[in-house]
Amino acid sequence: MDKIKRNVLLNPGPATTTDTVKMAQVVPDICPREKEFAGLMKGLRSDLLRVVHAPEEEYTSVLFCGSGTINIDICINSLVPEGKKILVVNNGAYNSRAVEVCEMYHIPHINLKFSVYEQPNLEEVENTLLKNPDVAVVYCCHHETGTGVLNPIREIGALAHKYGAIFVSDTTSTLGMIPLDVVKDNVDFCMASAQKGLMAMAGLSFIIGKKSIIEASKNYPTRSYYCNLYLQYEYFEKTGEMHFTPPVQTIYATIQALKEYFAEGEEAKFARHRRVYEAIHNGLEELGFKTIIPREIESGLVVSVLYPTDSNWSFEKVHDYCYERGFTIYPGKISTTNTFRLCSLGAIDVSDIRNFFVVLKDALNEYDIKIASNKK
C-alpha cells in the first residue's frame, strides 16, 4: 500500500491523525448488531469515562452518530423539564449555537450574553440564577473555539449547583487535550466528538453524564426522536447497541485512538498540545502578527490572529498556498473582526509548527505582504 500523505491540520478539528488510527478503519465487514461489535462499544464507552475521570457507578457515556452539534441538540432538548428554563452563559459562537437550539425547540431560555473577547462575569451569572429560580439547567461551552477563550466551568458549575440546577458543558474542543475532571469541575454532562481531542475520525459523538439525571429525563417533554438522550441510553442499557446504525469504521478508529491516548498518557499529551500552542505564538510574534485574545484566558488550543493591515493580504491566497504544501489554516469566527485561527489539536508537534512557519513566511513573500506594522 502507498504511503499515506500526511497533512498538518491547524484548524480546530477534524485533527491530524496517526496512520494507525486511519488504518484501524480497514477491518472485515461486520453487522453492528453482532455481540462482538456491542462488546467493542461497551469497552469504548468505559474508556471515554476514564478520559474525564468520571466514576462509572455514577456516570455513563452515550454514543451518537453525528457531528459535535448533535450533542448540543440532544442535551438541550432532553434535559430541560416541563415548566423550567435553561440559562445559556454565552460569550461566543458555540454558546450562541446552543441558544439557536433552544429557539428551534421553543424551550424557555435565558441568553446571558458577554463579550466574545472575555470570560463570563461570574457575579452576573449568580445574579441571574438568583432572580430566576425556575432555571433547571445551566449551559456553557468550556472552550469557545471561535476565539480561543477558555471559560471557568468549575466556577459556573458550582453556581449552578448552588441554585439547584444541573450543569452542562460543551467540551468538544477540550476533552482529551487539557485537564478535565467532571467531578472536580462540577460537570453533570459534557460532550465531544471523536475527531478532535481523541484524534480519531468524524462521525461519532458522545455525551458523558449522570445516570440518575438521564433516567429522570424519561419523564421530561419528548422533543425529538433521533436526538433523544434517554431513548439512546435505554437502548444501550437493554442491548449494548446504538438504537440506530452506528458509524462502524469510525468506532474502530476511535478505539485505536483511545489506545494511543492512554499509551501517550494524558499529562504527556496535554504537555504536547501546550508546547505546540507556545510554538504557534512564538512563530506569530517573530513574523509580527497580532493576536486578539489575552494569553491569560486562552485555552492553549486555539490562537485567533488578526489580519495584517497590508492591502496585499488575502486569507484565501495564503490559505491556498499553505494548503498546497500540506498545511491547513482556518478562518476566524468573530463577526466583528477579521481573524484567522491556528490550533494545536491533533497528532502534531513543535517540528510541524516550525515547518509551517517556513511555508507561511514564503507565502507572505510570494504575495508581497508586509506585517511589520502589526508587530507589538
Q: Return d(Cα 11, Cα 6) in angstroms, integer.
A: 15
pLDDT band per the 50, 70, 90 thresholds, residue 375 = very low
Q: Return d(Cα 194, Cα 202) in angstroms, integer.
A: 6
| Domain boundaries 23-262, CATH class | alpha beta
- Three cell numbers, residue 236: 444501550
Say if 23-262 and 266-374 have the same CATH topology: no
Instruction: Name every residue whose Cβ is closer than 8 Å to that of residue 178 and which is 6 or more positions away in sequence.
Output: 143, 150, 270, 273, 299, 300, 301
pLDDT > 70 in the chain, percent: 98
Q: Return d(Cα 371, Cα 313) in angstroms, integer.
A: 9
Phi–psi pair at 355, nearest 5 degrees? -65, -35
Which of 137-141, 177-181, 200-204, 332-336 has the least mean pLDDT? 332-336
pLDDT > 90 in the chain, percent: 96
Q: Above 50 in pLDDT, residue 216?
A: yes
Q: Above 90 in pLDDT, residue 208?
A: yes
Q: Return d(Cα 59, Cα 55) in angstroms, integer.
A: 6
266-374 homologous superfamily? Aspartate Aminotransferase, domain 1 (3.90.1150.10)
The closest alpha carbon to 197, from 117, 301, 79, belongs to: 301
Whole-number pLDDT of residue 79: 98
Whole-number pLDDT of residue 335: 81
Whole-number pLDDT of residue 373: 47
DSSP percent split of the chain into helix, strand, coil, nearest 5: 40, 15, 40
pLDDT band per the 50, 70, 90 thresholds, residue 336 = confident
Q: Above 70 in pLDDT, residue 376?
A: no
Whole-number pLDDT of residue 220: 98
Whole-number pLDDT of residue 132: 98
| Domain regions of the chain by residue span | 23-262, 266-374
Mean of per-residue pLDDT scores for the chain:
96
Q: Above 60 in pLDDT, residue 6?
A: yes
User: Across residues 347-357, what is the average pLDDT?
Assistant: 98
pLDDT band per the 50, 70, 90 thresholds, residue 229 = very high
pLDDT per residue as tens digits for the range 297-327: 999 999 999 999 999 999 999 999 999 999 9
pTM (predicted TM-score):
0.96
Q: Above 90 in pLDDT, residue 120?
A: yes
Q: Above 90 in pLDDT, residue 199?
A: yes
Whole-number pLDDT of residue 374: 44
pLDDT per residue as tens digits for the range 18-68: 999 999 999 999 999 999 999 999 999 999 999 999 999 999 999 999 999
190: which strand partners? 169, 208
Write the DSSP string, 4-67.
PPP-EE-SSSSPP--HHHHHTT------TTSHHHHHHHHHHHHHHHHHTT--TTTEEEEEEES-
pLDDT band per the 50, 70, 90 thresholds, residue 1 = low
Whether the Cβ atoms of residue 146 and residue 13 lie closer than 8 Å to each other: no
User: Across residues 223-245, what is the average pLDDT?
Assistant: 96
Q: Return d(Cα 191, Cα 125) in angstroms, integer.
A: 22
